[in-house]
Amino acid sequence: MEKTVKIGLLGAGTVGSGVLQVLRENAREVSLKAGASVEIKTVLVRDAKKQRPNMEGIVATDKIEDILEDREIDIVVELMGGLHPAREYMLAAMEAGKHVVTANKDVIAQFGANMFDAAEKNHVGFLFEASVGGGIPIIRPIMECLTANRITEVMGIVNGTTNYMLTKMTELGEDYQTVLKEAQEKGYAEANPAADVEGLDAARKAAILASLAFNTRVTLPSVSVEGITNITPEDIDYARQLGYVIKLLAIAKDSPEKGVDVRVHPAFLPKDHPLASVSDVFNAIFVKGNAVGEAMFYGRGAGSLPTASAVIADIVSLARGIVNGEVREVGFQVFGQKQICPIEETVSAYYVRLLVADMPGVLGAIATAFGDEGVSLNSVIQTRKVDNLAEIVAITHHVKHRRIARAQRTLSALPVVTKISSVIRVETPPTMEVA
């Protein structure tokens, strides 16, 4: 007789309704692959009376106890989002001996270590593939497929909202406010878009990826974050002219000398880099390891069905273990706390755009000011007139962030400099990196 694995679902929002739909539509495939019938028994919702699709035979409840105290439920799937009470519910589920699947990047980024400890203590599985990259398989590939490698770098486009906005700004030449409004109308951006456009969502994912890739603990406060709110059509146009596109990148690097450098910021990316052609709401994560070289994982980083795909893969994995009498998932492996590289010590090339007095010798004065702070320039060009002023665009060689910060102060103090319009990092891709 075939075993049935029973699930308690916390939340029936965008992702929860996707899980309900996919488990119904693909019931046959899922049960064959799991070696068990996979059934959602109970769903925790705010309003248990509300009619929802794909709920025939499933109990809706507004009481968490109906799930935590139900001994038939093997797996609790948390899709409520937010820190509280999601975290407390997951911990309670583990204490009740239930395996837990979650898509909750907030909890993993902030309380990851804590959650893994609880899973280990209670001898239950704890899986979270959907917390980064939506439907893209990335957590398990890092934890199980790249184990031969010392991973030195992870670089990803992990926020669909901002990638959609930057794509539209690039394709249509529109400004930030216009594309934000359009993204909100299409449902790609929230009414309060801060978490996306200011980079916080990407930062949480960066913390998770860095922790997994480098087998250390990186939490949100260690991630340096800068959003896309200051990106202008002018910057995007200069990027294009120079052979780049602007992307919001989550970057994590690990080096024995400098420690772990984790940051989220907009960056110039060479247009032939594999990440440069990742458009609209798509996500992609580029991983560099000392055996595999470069690998990239691409797909839909959000959305009801893609995220449900990742959640259900975790459910199938646990169900296979339950059928075999023991769940044996690889937990989060920490091999020691690595040092975090301070942002001032991180190294990048930079694009700097300035408005200066339109007079002879200005280009020289600017170049000298950069040089005085130890910033060597790859190129500096005077591009166009803006209101009787001259616009200058400089691309630096690789420098430490503190040097560029000092150069900014020095430049600002020059009488000929009216304004520093933009300072954006230029990411030379791993394949083009100079040793």
- Provide the binding-site residues for a copy of itself, judged by CB under 8 A: 18, 22-23, 25-26, 29-30, 32-34, 129, 135-137, 140-141, 144-150, 215, 272, 274, 277, 284, 289-300, 303, 305-306, 308-313, 316-317, 320-321, 324, 328, 330, 333, 335
DSSP secondary structure, 280-330, as one string: TTEEEEEEEETTTEEEEEEEE-SSHHHHHHHHHHHHHHHHHHHHTT-----
Q: What whole-number distance in Å separates Cα of residue 297 and Cα of residue 305? A: 18
Considering the complex, state which of residue 168 and residue 300 has its C-beta at the smaller distance from a copy of itself: 300
Residue 11 in 3-state DSSP?
coil
Residue 84 in 3-state DSSP?
coil
Preceding amide of 85 cis, omega within 30 = yes
Pair type for strands 417-426 and 347-357: antiparallel
To a copy of itself, the closest distance from the beta carbon of 431 in angstroms equals: 10
To a copy of itself, the closest distance from the beta carbon of 328 in angstroms equals: 6
Q: What whole-number distance in Å separates Cα of residue 132 and Cα of residue 104? A: 9
To a copy of itself, the closest distance from the beta carbon of 384 in angstroms equals: 30
To a copy of itself, the closest distance from the beta carbon of 315 in angstroms equals: 8
Tokens for 86? Answer: 């999601």
Element (H, E) at 196: helix 194-197
The neighbouring-strand residues paired with 147 are none
To a copy of itself, the closest distance from the beta carbon of 79 in angstroms equals: 14
Considering the complex, state which of residue 182 and residue 294 has its C-beta at the smaller distance from a copy of itself: 294
Q: What whole-number distance in Å separates Cα of residue 99 and Cα of residue 113? A: 16
DSSP state of 198: T
Q: What whole-number distance in Å separates Cα of residue 375 and Cα of residue 106? A: 38
Considering the complex, state which of residue 23 and residue 267 has its C-beta at the smaller distance from a copy of itself: 23
Q: How many CA atoms lie within 13 A of 333 on its CB side?
A: 12
Considering the complex, state which of residue 95 and residue 272 has its C-beta at the smaller distance from a copy of itself: 272
Considering the complex, state which of residue 146 and residue 220 has its C-beta at the smaller distance from a copy of itself: 146
Is residue 117 within 8 A of residue 90, CB to CB? The reply is no
To a copy of itself, the closest distance from the beta carbon of 226 in angstroms equals: 27
To a copy of itself, the closest distance from the beta carbon of 274 in angstroms equals: 6
Closest CA to 92 of 208, 200, 10, 165: 10
Residue found by looking up tokens 């930079």 in the block: 350
Q: What whole-number distance in Å separates Cα of residue 241 and Cα of residue 175? A: 18
Is residue 346 within 8 A of residue 263, CB to CB? The reply is yes
Considering the complex, state which of residue 16 and residue 135 has its C-beta at the smaller distance from a copy of itself: 135
DSSP state of 382: E
Residues annotated catalytic, as ranges: 205
Q: What whole-number distance in Å separates Cα of residue 305 and Cα of residue 21? A: 8
To a copy of itself, the closest distance from the beta carbon of 153 in angstroms equals: 14
Q: What whole-number distance in Å separates Cα of residue 49 and Cα of residue 60? A: 8
Considering the complex, state which of residue 133 and residue 199 has its C-beta at the smaller distance from a copy of itself: 133
How far from chain centre, in Å, is Cα 115?
20
Considering the complex, state which of residue 163 and residue 346 has its C-beta at the smaller distance from a copy of itself: 163
Q: What whole-number distance in Å separates Cα of residue 133 and Cα of residue 140? A: 12
